[in-house]
A and B are shown apart, each in its own frame.
Chain A
Amino acid sequence: MPIHPDSYEPYDGPRGTERPWWTVARQTLGSMLSWTRTKLTLLAVWVFPALALIGVIVEYSLRSSGTELPVPEGQFVGAFATYQAYAVALVYLASGCGIVSHDIRYRTLPFVLSKPITRWDYLGGKLLGLSLLGALTAVVPTLLVGALRLGMLASIDLAGPIVGATLAALGVAIAAVVVTAALVGAISSLSGRTGLVVLGVIGAFVAPWILSSILQLATEAKAAGNLVSLHGAFSLVIDQWIYGDASGVPAWSPFVALGVLCGGSIAVMHWRLKQAGDIH
């Protein structure tokens, strides 16, 4: 029997300090941004923020020229934050459903998981990549519109009433980006058939919404009914943070609902990745 010499010399060349989750995140984002449907969806959802930017400039011009307008309150910011939560859902639906599902479908998961990375690196990278797309959808426009509006209103001493609301809108946008990414990531990890994942994500958005409507009709507990749906929970947060409305439920309840949804989704994703060699 031939005996081979162990002449192996380990690679001792330069190694970067780049974290694998960051590599996965960049690849995930780059891949999504290369798709035409992502570009088109992003353009579509940016139409409203673009109009809002124009509206802010018009508002500033009118106020500067002495036109009598009501003192700014949170309505505009509240409507903007609500829109952003839906925009994130739409962009994720169009482009995010394949983040793990494509790796299952195209059987590329074993390549990644045979590298020196943990399941958490992969999971974190995928969610970060999707969240960066969500940030382009919601956080960046919120920052742009909010900063421009605050800056212009501050120059005519009217920023005071809406500083808190604008920061709250930013918080809502970030929460929508992260929680919705976790939900979409979890559903994406359940199947290699991306069409099924899209249906699953639509179901996860719509079914609780219907349930929430039934609960509201049956019990007249409008706020409590909102707690069972993702966008209902966001509307409760917007009510509290932007409109200062107590909503009739404990202040912590929408945050707990969103936290449980986010944590549960990440747990599902990790559980699926632990079975990676079994996933087909």
Chain B
Amino acid sequence: MTDAIPTTGGDPKTIQVRKASYWYDDVIGINDLSVDIGPGVTGLLGPNGAGKSTLMKVISGQLSPRTGEVRINKRPLAGNPEVFADIGFVPEFDAFWQGMSGREFVVYLTRLHGLDKSNAAAAAERAIERVGLTDDADRPVSDYSKGMRQRIKVAQALAHEPNCLLLDEPLNGTDPVGRRHIIDLIRELGAAGTTVVVSSHVLHEIEQMTDEVVLIHSGRVLADGHIQEIRDLIDEHPHTIHVDCDRPRELAAELVGFEDVVRVELADDHVRVATRDPAACYDRIPRLTLENDFGFQGMTSPDNDLDAVFQYLVD
């Protein structure tokens, strides 16, 4: 246990949070939290209700901390709206204006940075291309799949070329293709020197983007460091994957033969698989369902194993 300020990423530090607290009536969001985050990808990991989204909202200026301070590029966030020119924020939830196309969505939000129509359109075009939605840019966002909506949200955060990108649960509900696209983009931005903070309650998601994590629990930074240290702890607890598909019985029969699979639970429309090798399993499941035409719908991880690790660290 140390009093040193948790630190991740390179130097100089882009995000500095000092003794920040925020509470919702009687519920603590974050509690006297300090952290320094620099260039590169940092994973903000914690179970649901840990305070990740509150920290994201505080860093992105949605909430003013009741106590403490946030600085972006050494400038205080409070009362300093021009600091937001350095920030790109992707909120957790599915949000868009009714009737707007993807392009209109990105152009409008880019214009709020003061760019005129033609420059905003050009910046939006580059960002849309970067997230791979050029062909669908003129369709209404309401017609997009969940994965495409996540990508258009990322595009609006990238268009003004910020050096600090905050993504709150960006892989929620994404299909495998969208997931891969977003992961590759995040890694690419991190490697180029952008400070990227990605929150998730799923260790495996974070693991695909970065080695550096900050663990949040009960509104505090519980630990920070290399993801392998977390992985070593988690390997003692099998990882659970929930797979929705049309033929769960056949998928279950295929999965039980693998050595890393320690348990398979079957229901009418899904399979729950417990594995000691999540990376292999995440690659295997979509492949198996496609090869055998099992009608793959999607997969999520309740990650109860992560809760167990948090419990271990707290204890």
A and B pair up: yes
Using a CB–CB cutoff of 8 Å, the interface residues on chain A facing chain B are 1-8, 10-11, 13-20, 23-24, 27, 31, 34, 102, 106-108, 110-118, 121, 274, 276-278
State whether A112 and B119 are in contact (beta carbons under 8 Å apart), knowing that A11-B161, A106-B97, A106-B98 are contacts in the complex: no
CB distance from A25 to the nearest CB of B (A): 12
- Residues of chain B touching chain A, judged by Cβ–Cβ distance below 8 Å, are 8-12, 24, 38-40, 57, 60-64, 81-89, 91, 93-99, 108-109, 111-117, 119-120, 123, 153, 156, 160-161, 163, 190-194, 211-212, 225-226
In the complex, the chain A residue whose C-beta lies closest to that of B89 is: A114
CB distance from B204 to the nearest CB of A (A): 19
Judging by beta carbons under 8 Å apart, are A277 and B112 in contact?
no
Given A18-B115, A111-B153, A278-B63, 6 more contacts at CB 8 Å? A1-B226, A10-B163, A11-B160, A16-B114, A20-B114, A114-B84
**Best-surrounded residue of A7, A116, A278 (most CB of chain B within 10 A):** A116
Asked if A115 contacts B109 (CB within 8 A), the reply is yes
Whether A115 lies near B212 (C-beta < 8 A) is no
Nearest-Cβ distance from residue A116 to partner chain B, whole angstroms:
4
Question: Is B95 within 8 A of A7, CB to CB?
Answer: no
> Contact at B95–A107, with CB atoms within 8 Å?
yes
The smallest C-beta distance from B315 to any residue of chain A, in angstroms, reads 25
Please classify the interface of chain A as helix (H, G, I), strand (E, B), loop, or mixed, using the class held by over half of its residues: loop
Smallest Cβ distance from A16 to chain B, in angstroms? 3
Q: Among A3, A11, A115, A277, point to the contact of B10 (Cβ < 8 A).
A: A3
- A-B contacts, 15 of them at CB < 8 A, read A6-B39, A7-B39, A11-B160, A14-B115, A15-B114, A16-B114, A18-B115, A31-B99, A106-B98, A111-B91, A112-B112, A114-B61, A114-B84, A116-B113, A117-B112
A4, B95: Cβ atoms under 8 Å? no
Are the CB atoms of B212 and A16 closer together than 8 Å? no
| Residue of B whose beta carbon sits closest to that of A10 | B163
Task: Establish whether residues B84 and A115, one from each chain, have CB atoms under 8 Å apart when the complex forms.
Answer: yes
Contact A6 B10 (CB under 8 A): yes
Check B193 against A8 for contact (C-beta < 8 Å): yes
Nearest CB in chain A: distance from B116 CB, A: 3
Q: Given A2-B212, A116-B82, A106–B193 Cβ distance below 8 Å?
A: no
Task: List 4 tightest A-B contacts by C-beta distance, closest first.
Answer: A16-B116, A277-B62, A4-B40, A277-B63
Tell me the complex Cα distance, A1–B112, Å: 37
Given A1-B212, A4-B10, A116-B114 in contact, is the A31-B97 Cβ separation under 8 Å? yes
Q: Which residue of B lies closest to A98 (CB)?
A: B98
Q: Give the residue among A5, A110, A117 with the most B Cβ atoms within 10 A.
A: A110
Given A14-B119, A115-B109, are A6 and B38 neighbors across the interface (CB < 8 Å)? yes
A114-B62 CB under 8 A given contacts A1-B226, A31-B99, A278-B24: yes
Q: Write out the residue numbers on chain A whose beta carbons fall within 8 Å of the beta carbon of B117.
A: 16
A6 touches B193 (CB 8 A): yes
Q: Is A118 within 8 A of B114, CB to CB? A: no
Question: For residue B156, which residues in chain A have a CB less than 8 angstroms away from its CB?
Answer: 111
Q: Per a CB cutoff under 8 Å, which of A113, A116, A121 touches B83?
A: A116
- Shortest CB-to-CB span from A170 to chain B, Å, is 32
- With A114-B62, A114-B87, A115-B112 known to touch, is A5 a contact of B93 (CB < 8 Å)? no
A34 and B98 CA atoms in complex are apart in Å by 11
CB neighbours (8 Å) of A17 from chain B are: 114, 116
Chain A residue with Cβ nearest B95: A107
- Which residue of A4, A7, A10 is within 8 Å of B9 (Cβ)? A4
Closest B residue to A1 by CB, please name it.
B226
A4 to B156 CA separation, bound complex (whole angstroms): 25
Are A2 and B99 in contact (CB-based, < 8 A)? Answer: no
B11 in contact with A6 (CB, 8 Å): yes
Report A126 CB to chain B, min CB distance, Å: 13
Asked whether, in the complex, the Cβ of A110 is within 8 Å of the Cβ of B62, the reply is: yes
Nearest residue, chain A, Cβ from B195 = A8
Taking CB atoms, residues of chain B closer than 8 Å to A115 are 84, 109, 112-113
* In the complex, chain B residues whose CB is within 8 Å of the CB of A276: 62-63
Most buried by A among B82, B98, B226: B98
- Distance in angstroms from B162 CB to nearest chain A CB is 8
A110 touches B91 (CB 8 A): yes
Query: Quick one: given A4-B10, A6-B12, A111-B91, are A277 and B57 in contact (CB under 8 Å)?
Result: yes
Residue from B12, B95, B111, B190 within 8 A of A106 (CB atoms)? B95
Which of chain A's residues have a CB closer than 8 A to the CB of B115? 14-16, 18
The answer to whether B38 and A4 have CB atoms under 8 Å apart is: yes
Q: Contact between A116 and B97 (Cβ–Cβ < 8 Å)?
A: no
Cα distance A276–B91 in the bound complex, in angstroms: 13
**Contacts A110-B95, A112-B112 given: A4-B190 contact, CB under 8 Å?**
yes
Given known contacts A10-B163, A277-B63, A108 and B97 CB-to-CB distance under 8 angstroms: yes
Residue on B with the closest CB to A125? Answer: B112
* Shortest CB distance B269–A (Å): 29
Chain A residue with the shortest CB-CB distance to B53:
A277
Chain A residues with CB under 8 Å of B161's CB are: 10-11
User: Cα distance A116–B111 when bound, in Å?
Assistant: 10
Bound-state Cα–Cα, A205 to B62, Å: 33
Min CB–CB distance A273 → chain B (angstroms) = 11
